[in-house]
Amino acid sequence: SAVISQKPSRDICQRGTSLTIQCQVDSQVTMMFWYRQQPGQSLTLIATANQGSEATYESGFVIDKFPISRPNLTFSTLTVSNMSPEDSSIYLCSAGTGPGHNEQFFGPGTRLTVL
C-alpha cells in the first residue's frame, strides 16, 4: 500500500491565476495519476504523471492548462493554469504500484474554489 498526502488541502483563488498542487507518496510507486471531481460528480482522469518525461493527458485535457511534473518516483505536481470558476473542483492524485497491482491509493484531495 501507499500513503499519499496533498498540499494544499483547499484553496480559494481568483480568476486568471494559477495554483500548483503537490502530491507526495510515502514510498516509490510506478504510476501516479491526477483526477478531477467536479461538484456532485464522479472522478475524471486528467493525466498519467510519468517519471522523467511528459505526462500523458486524457481527451479534453491539455498540458497548457494542466501542466504536470514528476521529478521522481514519490512526488508529482499539478498546476491549474489561468483559472476560471469552471475549474472549481476537487483535484485528487493517486498512485498505483504497477503491473499486477491494480488498485490505486488516493490522496485526500485538494478542494479548489475559483471566484
Partner 1 sequence: SQQGEEDPQALSIQEGENATMNCSYKTSINNLQWYRQNSGRGLVHLILIRSNEREKHSGRLRVTLDTSKKSSSLLITASRAADTASYFCATPTGGGNKLTFGTGTQLKVEL
| CA 51/CA 74 separation, integer angstroms | 9
Question: Cβ(13)–Cβ(115) under 8 Å?
Answer: yes
DSSP states of 45-100 as a string? EEEEEPTTS--EEPTT--TTTS-EEEEETTEEEEEE-S--GGG-EEEEEEEE--TT
Least distance from C-beta 11 to partner 1, angstroms?
14
Among 13, 22, 24, 48, binds partner 1 (CB under 8 A): 48
Least distance from C-beta 13 to partner 1, angstroms?
18
Q: For residues 77 and 110, which CB has a smaller minimum distance to partner 1 in the complex?
A: 110
What is the tally of helices (H) and strands (E) in the chain?
0, 11
Among 55, 78, 83, 105, binds partner 1 (CB under 8 A): 105
31 binds partner 1 (CB under 8 A): yes
Least distance from C-beta 66 to partner 1, angstroms?
16
Binding site for partner 1 (CB under 8 A): 4, 30-31, 33, 37, 42-45, 48, 90, 92, 94, 96, 98-99, 101-109, 111
